[in-house]
Structure 1
């Protein structure tokens, strides 16, 4: 039913607020699009860590009595869509909480470590016992084994031993820490409440700051660690500097909420520019521009404005579909898509339709939607995709099929057009995507799912970096 890539997680943390856990709950609610399989919150009060985690959506996991038990002035939370580590095991729900010789620690992680298996085997040979199958637990074990004096130093020593993409929150007994990987693949922002002294928030996206009425301060920089404590916000850059950064470009295509701004680029405006560029690269004579809701809407607006073709909501999304449903025994064609999306025949009947979507992964959903629009009476259906062909899987924290399952990896554009049954098919070029997203900026991106150029190499190709530790925390 859902043939999209999925981001792995969303993270949210609060320091020095009397309603820390309640605010984290609201923050996770705003980040629900980043993970719908499980949610968790950990708070700390007088060196005691309080934890509540469960399967399902944020509103299903946490009830008022649960939040009342999460006492303390600081808390971190996590929503998850599993990649490394299966979702079935409740032990795979974050944040992880452990007691160490140096005190308690909680960790929440968005991303994926490419050397997690190697590091896990090494730690197990040295006597470590793992409770979950998540790569996040590798970081926890490495930090717990460190002999460094403070939690930030132990965390740095741990992160120097792993490779991959991550935005990470850690919480000690008296601090909240945010770290972004040196390539800057996953987003992380800092906010604060201006009417409260030394009260801060860390979030995957700015949209969550708006909900809790916190003020955006800045993006955490690639390779930066911020330590929030009674001293305020301290910033460190303990990792070797990269020549360029590699924010996941799919954040701007699909993952992030349209009302978020990431690394200075507004997601909604970037998607409209993407749609406008798509109209320039793949013009078509048509009567209507129709988005595949909801992710295709901003790009379809941009396509409409650039082409002059009217925009219409020819497909309506049912927002109340649960993650599971009972499928009828008697066959209903395209049931999985129809329960989520429904065409409006009065809008599309007899019309030449430009159908705008964000990506083609396996192609199965695109094929069904094109057939639905045609069955509703459309005279022509021209499929336009607001990203390049997806030819490679992601290994950095995105749930993707194997390359064998990706339609564009083994089919030409014409073969994909024939498979989806569209009258024409056009993908945005990689060059056009960069120009539309950057819009005058000079950001670097990870585009491995389109190009096959993986910026973080895998362990057999890597050389050990020179270790840089924090000196004055």
Structure 2
């Protein structure tokens, strides 16, 4: 049995937000700050806000959580009379963890200034960047968002307006992208033709303006009314004339939403593609109970994304639901810590089992995924140390056997426990009495009110668009080998 990488991590992607109010009544600083707080779960590495005051774009971005970056002093120094703003929270799935990669990226060019927010990964970013570099472009960071920025500025030079430039850029880029772009007069949202990542539209109270967000929970945070999702391939423009759309790229590819948005990433109160995330996770638990019935005394969930699925399992099986863990809310997710020692320490203090719930009982533990297995093993050990008689481990997703190239930092196959191990071997590694994964068939049926298809490439290895031969982090974040150097020269 091969040795596993000790770090257990499932990295999130990013959250984007934009807001436009023609009346100027909305406090843009307060609104974006609230929206980013609502989207904090999507990225906890860096954040930023860009503001538009009479066509002049200014902003602030840095590494850290929203509350750490935007202190009362920083917020007070931002202009308070903006009519348009964008915001972003980031976790680096592509590109180094530096301030240069924080967003929104504000770009200045001869046709004006723009601020760009991006969620997702481009599969052809390395090739595009190399071509841009060969034509004289100079990059300050290593994220594919900067590639999008250069293409937008180039296309803007030959386009009558920014909307046309966005259309032309979409013809060049491949992969996952939910974009919010702010110019001196317009706020634009655009989504890739596959619709990998969520993006929705909201209307401000009294019809005074519009907002775009990765999740509807951010619209709720600013008092906007959810209108609909941005269609895959659609460009939506908000300006003084109202809201208009461009659907040139709609229908050019199958709609393949990332199914893991429902399993783990999105907040339970968000509505994505017509389905409440909470309902999808309840459904996952019901399916798990049907596929993997066991004789047990209590069902518990691994906080936080396993809780709803555990409730669904309990409802379907008739086994009582219980609270099995107390989570220390002052400890961030384990992957945020920089070193392995920090990650291991965080796991130890992050959760504490409630012995009165599990002692002497047969426990069903429901979790959202197993990546490398180390955190799972520690969690199960916590239950046994608290007196659990049996631990039956149920996962509300199929096994991760392949990497993701579209905005989720699922590790290389060599680091995934499901690659090269049977379910029985994984059960032994994590120390459970039984182990059951949700089937591929049922995972695509979680969003019961959604009409979209789903990307399941991380489970099946079959991707909606071809997998890249190289990625930005390999090409630009690490020293090149001699052969790579010759190739690039």
Give the shorter-chain TM-score range: over 0.9
- Name the CA shift for 1:327/1:443 in 2 (closer, same or farther; >3 Å): closer
1:308-339 per-position Cα deviation (integer Å, ceiling 9, x unaligned): 1111111111111155599999xxx9644221
For 2:217, which of 207, 211, 228 is the aligned residue? Answer: 207
Shift of 1:32: 0.1
Match of 2:138 among 124, 129, 133: 129
Match of 1:47 in 2: 55
In the alignment, structure 1 residue 342 sits paired with structure 2 residue 347: no
Counterpart in 2 of 1:291? Answer: 301
For the 8 Å contact 1:7–1:34, the answer to whether it is kept is: yes
Pick aligned residue for 2:75 from 48, 67, 76: 67
2:10 to 5, 23, 46: 5
Unaligned 5+ segments in structure 1 are: 462-473
Deviation per residue, 1:122-164 (Å, 9 max, x gap): 0000111111111001111111112112111112212211111
2:173 maps to 162
Using the TM superposition, give the Cα deviation of residue 114 of structure 1 relative to its aligned residue in structure 2, in angstroms: 0.5
Distance in 1 (CA, whole Å) between partners of 2:341 and 2:168 is 54
Moved more, 95-104 or 60-69: 60-69
Partners of 2:294 and 2:166 lie apart in 1 by 53
Q: 1:270 aligns with which of 273, 280, 283?
A: 280
**1: CA distance between counterparts of 2:18 and 2:128?**
27
- What CA distance in whole angstroms lies between the structure 1 residues aligned with 2:167 and 2:127? 19
Q: CA deviation at 1:459?
A: 6.2
Corresponding position of 2:453: 444
Partner of 2:34: 26
- What is aligned with 2:198? 187
Identify which range, 146-155 or 306-315, moves more after superposition. 146-155
Aligned pairs, number: 455
CA distance in 1, matches of 2:69, 2:139: 25
Aligned mates of 1:399, 1:460 — CA distance in 2: 16
SS in 1 for 2:379: helix
CA distance in 2, matches of 1:10, 1:195: 26
Separation in 2 of the partners of 1:452 and 1:420?
Answer: 24
Which residue number corresponds to residue 19 of structure 2? 14
Moved more, 286-295 or 238-247: 238-247
| Distance (Å, rounded) in 2 between the aligned partners of 1:81 and 1:6 | 7
Distance 1:111 1:178, change over 3 A: same
Larger CA deviation: 291-300 vs 55-64: 55-64
Query: C-alpha separation between the residues in 1 aligned to 2:411 and 2:373?
Result: 12
1:145 has 2:154 as partner: yes
Cα deviation for residue 62 of structure 1 reads 0.9
TM-superposed CA distance for 1:303, in Å, is 0.2
Q: Deviation at 1:193?
A: 1.6
Q: Separation in 2 of the partners of 1:79 and 1:222?
A: 22
Aligned equivalents of 2:45 and 2:442: distance in 1? Answer: 34
Report the alpha carbon displacement of residue 83 of structure 1 after superposing the two structures with TM. Answer: 1.2
Shift of 1:443: 2.1
User: Hey, what does 2:482 align to over in structure 1?
Assistant: none
Q: Show the 5 A alignment for 1:61-460.
A: 61-68=69-76, 69-71=78-80, 72-87=82-97, 89-146=98-155, 147-197=158-208, 199-239=209-249, 241-322=251-332, 323-324=336-337, 335-435=345-445, 437-439=446-448, 441-458=450-467
Given the superposition, is the C-alpha separation of residues 334 and 119 from structure 1 closer, same or farther in structure 2, using an over 3 Å criterion?
A: closer
1:115 and 1:458 in contact (8 A); partners too:
no
In the TM superposition, what is the alpha-carbon distance from 1:20 to its structure 2 partner? 1.8
8 Å contact kept, 1:139–1:159: no
Q: Residues 130 and 417 from structure 1, CA distance in 2 versus in 1: closer, same or farther, beyond 3 angstroms? A: same
Give distance in 2, aligned partners of 1:39 and 1:440.
32
Superposition deviation, residue 441 in structure 1 = 4.2
Stretches of structure 2 that go unaligned for 5 or more consecutive residues are 1-5, 471-489
Query: Following the alignment from structure 2 to structure 1, what is the Cα–Cα distance between the partners of residues 278 and 221?
Result: 17
How many angstroms does 1:368 deviate by? 0.9
Return closer, same or farther for 1:205/1:394 CA change in 2, 3 Å cut-off. Answer: same
Partner Cα distance (1:326, 1:408) in 2 = 24
Match of 1:360, SS state, is coil
Q: Deviations over 1:229-273 (max 9, x none)?
A: 111111111226235210000000000000000000110011001
Change (3 A) 1:196 1:438: closer
Q: Distance in 1 between matches of 2:213 and 2:42?
A: 12
Task: Give yes or no for contact 1:301–1:311 (8 Å, CA) kept in 2.
Answer: yes
**TM-score, structure 1 normalization:** 0.92
Counterpart Cα distance in 2 of 1:117 and 1:328: 33
Whether the 8 Å contact between 2:16 and 2:180 is mirrored in structure 1 is yes
SS in 2 for 1:438: coil
Q: Distance in 2 between matches of 1:379 and 1:204?
A: 42
Shift in Å, 1:452: 0.6
Tell me the distance in 1 between the aligned counterparts of 2:364 and 2:345: 23
Q: Residue in 2 aligned with 1:35? A: 43
Q: CA deviation at 1:21?
A: 2.5
